[in-house]
Amino acid sequence: MAVCADVGSTYTKVAVVDLDSGTLVATAAHPTTVRTDVLDGLDAAVAAAGGTGHPLYVCSSAGGGLRLAVVGYERLVTARAGQQVGLTAGARVVHVAAGRLDGPGMAALRAARPDVLLLVGGTDGGDAETLLHNASRLAGGRLRVPVVVAGNADARAAAKAILADSGIPVSTADNVLPRIGVLNPGPARAGIRQVFLRHVIGGKRLSRGTRFASLVRGATPDAVLTGVELLADQTGTDLVVLDIGGATTDVYSVLTPAGEQATVAGTLWRSRTVEGDLGVRWSATGVVEAALGERLLDPAAAAPLTAAAQRRAADPDLLPGDEAERQVDARLAELAATVALRRHGRQRDLRDVRLVIGSGGVLRHGRRPGLRARAGRAAGPGVPRRGARAAPFPATERTGDLAIMCLRKTRQSDTPTDRSAVRVAVDSLRGRARTVVESYFGSGAFFASSL
């Protein structure tokens, strides 16, 4: 047996899994106790699921998760590459700076309040001056956060020495962009994960002792992307995971490039995007604004939905008390899903995806038999075609399946635990085959079971 837990900003979710059979034994949830000690809520959830005494594996987004700033050379090249890598590492990218840092640039960086800074710049053998200049500015500034240097190999050691001499915790990773058009996210992603575990979790003061920090294996989005990657590898299926939350809507995709796609430079085929303006509570007003911008709403008829979104943003704990309120939640989720998928699809072609997995409380708790996000007639390229299946698979929020899969990468081995996690995931999909519905995006309809 093993227990996996996702300690979120609002709720702590726990799943007990039989590692030998891959059976999901029990689940439980408890409000996250950030005002006292997150271990209080975690221990209560574990006890409620009957998991006390079993090995415990935790991912966390409590306390705002992982806030990352990226400093690069050119905004459209290395800085953008660093931002993409940060997203795959499960970070919330709060600031991106490009070029040589100056006084206003340092002020903007401090104002973003990052937990970790990713310093990139220059291809291997290319520009080194900008990386070294920025390292010097960071060393002389008042921003004392851990730095991961993942830039030009010729200047990386010197940049590390500059930062280390000033007392800043610093580590290095292989260049995120060793050559123009070649992205190398893996080493920097691993480096960011290690910094998160060593410095960020403890620094957020979520718990009085060291036990919580020792339990956490990574940031929740990092664990989910790892689980999505493992599921795609084991099933041989390209897939998209859509996670609709109260503050953000995250889209994860694992794609296999073929034909002309395989030659597209600078594309991450395993990726995550975070839409910070799309959520059904804190960011509900952003959903309406984005939907108007995408012409998914008639401006003349948007006033009632705007008012409902404002109520949710003002009271994120609001629970729908009647069918009318549930319809509002469903409508906000539909719009958030549509906009998020469109944005994700503009960076990569999703039209051949045949499996879409829905996650998030609004899908899990909704009472409608199906949640339909209508993208409208102009769905545009990059959205899955007619025939894609949408499966109700709530990721870490209910079963913990994707969270436990992070063990494969964090333990750097293929163990019975990993294979059991995959069996849980695949069996979960197969066992709900009756609720899998045919969907199509060509005319803009997305179905996701809310059972």
SS3 string, the chain, reads CEEEEEECCCEEEEEEEECCCCEEEEEEEEECCCCCCHHHHHHHHHHHCCCCCCCEEEEECHHHCEEEEEEECCHHHHHHHHHHHHHHCCEEEEEEEECCCCHHHHHHHHHCCCCEEEECCCCCCCCCHHHHHHHHHHHHCCCCCCEEECCCHHHHHHHHHHHHHCCCCEEECCCCCCECCECCHHHHHHHHHHHHHHHHHHHCCCCCCCHHHHHEEEEHHHHHHHHHHHHHHHHCCCEEEEEECCCCEEEEEECCCCHHHHHCCCCCCEEEEEECCCCCCCCHHHHHHHHHHCCCCCHHHCHHHHHHHHHHHHCCCCCCCCHHHHHHHHHHHHHHHHHHHHHHHCCCCCCCCCEEEEECHHHHHCCCCCEEEECCCCCCCCCCCCCEEEEECCHHHHCCHHHHHHHHHHCCCCCHHHHHHHHHHHHHHHHCHHHCEEEECCCCEEEECCC
Q: What is residue 400's predicted lDDT score, i.e. its pLDDT?
A: 36
Answer yes or no: do 148 and 54 share one domain: no
- pLDDT exceeds cutoff 90 at 310: yes
How far apart, in whole angstroms, are the C-alpha atoms of residue 391 and residue 356?
6
Range from 61-65, 137-141, 164-168 carrying the lowest mean pLDDT: 61-65
- pLDDT exceeds cutoff 60 at 29: yes
Range from 56-65, 128-137, 293-302, 380-389 carrying the lowest mean pLDDT: 380-389
- State the greatest distance between any 2 C-alpha atoms of the chain, in Å, as a whole number: 63
Mean pLDDT confidence for 200-222: 83
The model's pLDDT over 266-301, given as tens digits with 9 standing for 90+, comes to 456 788 888 878 889 888 999 999 999 989 999 988
Q: What is residue 358's predicted lDDT score, i.e. its pLDDT?
A: 78
Of residues 302 and 89, the one with the higher pLDDT is 302
Of residues 132 and 17, the one with the higher pLDDT is 132
Answer yes or no: do 36 and 149 share one domain: no
Final residue of a structural domain among 170, 191, 219? 219
Answer yes or no: do 46 and 75 share one domain: no
- pLDDT exceeds cutoff 60 at 417: no
Answer yes or no: do 151 and 42 share one domain: no
Q: What is residue 41's predicted lDDT score, i.e. its pLDDT?
A: 95
- pLDDT exceeds cutoff 60 at 39: yes
Final residue of a structural domain among 186, 219, 252? 219
Q: Which range scores top for mean pLDDT: 4-8, 46-50, 244-248, 327-331?
A: 46-50
pLDDT band at 194 (very low <50, low <70, confident <90, very high): confident
Residue 204 lies in a domain: no
Answer yes or no: do 371 and 273 share one domain: yes
- ∠ at Cα 342 (334, 405), nearest 5°? 80
Q: Are 363 and 448 in contact (CB under 8 A)?
A: yes
Q: What is residue 448's predicted lDDT score, i.e. its pLDDT?
A: 28
How do 91-98 and 239-244 pair as beta strands?
unpaired
Answer yes or no: do 288 and 365 share one domain: yes
pTM: 0.69
Q: What is residue 152's predicted lDDT score, i.e. its pLDDT?
A: 96
Answer yes or no: do 234 and 192 share one domain: no
- pLDDT exceeds cutoff 60 at 412: no
Answer yes or no: do 128 and 182 share one domain: yes
- Number of structural domains found in the chain: 3
Length of the chain: 451
**Mean pLDDT of the chain, nearest integer:** 77
Range from 238-242, 311-315, 350-354, 405-409 carrying the lowest mean pLDDT: 405-409
Final residue of a structural domain among 219, 250, 281? 219
Q: How many CB atoms lie within 10 A of CB 37?
A: 17
Of residues 168 and 424, the one with the higher pLDDT is 168
How far apart, in whole angstroms, are the C-alpha atoms of residue 84 and residue 69?
12
Answer yes or no: do 225 and 81 share one domain: no
CATH number of the domain that residue 78 is part of? 3.40.50.2300
Q: What is residue 93's predicted lDDT score, i.e. its pLDDT?
A: 87
Answer yes or no: do 16 and 119 share one domain: no
Residue 374 lies in a domain: yes
Mean pLDDT confidence for 330-338: 90
Residue 315 lies in a domain: yes
pLDDT band at 366 (very low <50, low <70, confident <90, very high): low
Answer yes or no: do 191 and 238 share one domain: no
pLDDT band at 247 (very low <50, low <70, confident <90, very high): confident
Q: What is residue 402's predicted lDDT score, i.e. its pLDDT?
A: 42
Q: What is residue 271's predicted lDDT score, i.e. its pLDDT?
A: 82
Answer yes or no: do 18 and 130 share one domain: no
- pLDDT exceeds cutoff 50 at 386: no
Residue 109 lies in a domain: yes
Place of tokens 């079993």: 54
How far apart, in whole angstroms, are the C-alpha atoms of residue 154 and residue 134?
15
Domain region containing 270: 221-448
- pLDDT exceeds cutoff 60 at 199: yes
CATH number of the domain that residue 12 is part of? 3.30.420.300
- pLDDT exceeds cutoff 60 at 415: no
